[in-house]
Amino acid sequence: MSPENNHKEQTQRYYERLSLSQRAQHIVLIISFMTLVITGLPVRYPETKAAGAVIKSMGGMAVRAGLHRVAAVILIVLCFYHVLWVLFTKRGHEEFLAFIPRKKDALDLFHQLKYYFGLSRTTPRHDRFNWIEKFEYLAMGWGSVVMILTGLLLWFENQAMLVLPLWVLDVTRVIHSFEALLAFLAIVIWHCYHVHLNPSSFPMSKVWLTGLISEEELKEHHPLEYERIRREEIPPARVEVEPTKVGSKSE
């Protein structure tokens, strides 16, 4: 690292973007989701060589099915924990409200598209979460509900068949199977691009590990949040104002 960069690193200010609880939830989600994908997709594509190799490396179909269920239980517990965190913690409550899509997100999306097509010279100025982050959060929430409900029906197929017609279980399997593929592709293509391959994050944004975002990154990616934090950070008594203006205001 050059002395200049070293100095910059030392003098850079950092802000907390993700709390310890949020980072822990994210890591548990990564582990459970990846396990579900690795143990689920071989069932969707049993004819492929990769499926055979994955199942063999796990020690067979019974172990694969067991791992799928263990990861499913971890995902279910995580979802319950997340709901409790949102309902009963100040941070969870605030974060959930910040994730709710608003009119500005639709306008930001059009603004971004205009920028991609060369019709705008600027990119949208985001607040705490941009429209991509909001979409990913809501898709993950909705996707988890769908996967858990359909997964439970597949898991307890015999009991379900006592009260549901066979076609419901057939449809359930199709939904579980396609939603799994959709979620896998969304994470691999969209999420990984934004947090790894995007030139401004490459090779990886470390926020999910440290919870910290540098002042520079916050200013660049979430300027509205940065400005709000700065306004709240500086107590009014310490704001430097030209003496003449102070005089004219008090008159």
Provide the minimum distance between the beta carbon of 192 and ligand HEM in the complex, in angstroms, as a whole number.
15
Q: Which residues 6+ apart lie within 8 Å of 148 measured at CB? A: 72, 75, 76, 79
* Tokens standing for residue 246: 């102070």
211-215 long-range Cβ contacts below 8 angstroms, 24+ apart? 211/16, 211/17, 211/18, 211/19, 211/20, 211/22, 211/23, 212/14, 212/15, 212/16, 212/17, 213/14, 213/15, 213/16, 213/17, 214/12, 214/13, 214/14, 214/15, 215/12, 215/13, 215/14, 215/15
Taking the least distance from each CB to ligand HEM, the nearer of 109 and 146 is 146
Taking the least distance from each CB to ligand HEM, the nearer of 104 and 173 is 173
What mask, x for binding ligand HEM by CB under 6 A, covers residues 147 to 186?
xx--xx-xx-----------------x--xx--x--xx--
Choose, by CB under 6 A, the member of 17, 18, 22, 36 that binds ligand HEM: 36
Q: How far apart are CA 211 and CA 221, in angstroms?
A: 15
Bridge partners of 213? Answer: 15
* Tokens standing for residue 87: 């309902």
Provide the minimum distance between the beta carbon of 57 and ligand HEM in the complex, in angstroms, as a whole number.
16
What mask, x for binding ligand HEM by CB under 6 A, covers residues 54 to 93?
-----------x--x---x--x------------------
Q: Which stretch binds ligand HEM (CB under 6 A): 34-42, 130-138, 197-205, 242-250?
A: 34-42
* Tokens standing for residue 84: 């409790």
Provide the minimum distance between the beta carbon of 73 and ligand HEM in the complex, in angstroms, as a whole number.
7
Provide the minimum distance between the beta carbon of 163 and ligand HEM in the complex, in angstroms, as a whole number.
17
Provide the minimum distance between the beta carbon of 177 and ligand HEM in the complex, in angstroms, as a whole number.
3
Q: Scanning residues 98 to 127, which ones bind ligand HEM (CB under 6 A)?
A: none
Taking the least distance from each CB to ligand HEM, the nearer of 130 and 172 is 172
At 164, is the secondary structure helix, strand, or coil?
coil
Taking the least distance from each CB to ligand HEM, the nearer of 25 and 130 is 25
Taking the least distance from each CB to ligand HEM, the nearer of 147 and 213 is 147
Taking the least distance from each CB to ligand HEM, the nearer of 162 and 241 is 162
At 207, is the secondary structure helix, strand, or coil?
helix
* Tokens standing for residue 105: 């997100």
Taking the least distance from each CB to ligand HEM, the nearer of 18 and 41 is 41
Amino acid at the residue 180: A
Contact 114, 107 (CB under 8 A): no
Find the DSSP H helices in 89-165: 90-99, 103-116, 131-155, 157-163
Which residues are near ligand HEM by CB under 6 A?
Answer: 33, 36-37, 40-41, 43-44, 65, 68, 72, 75, 147-148, 151-152, 154-155, 173, 176-177, 180, 183-184
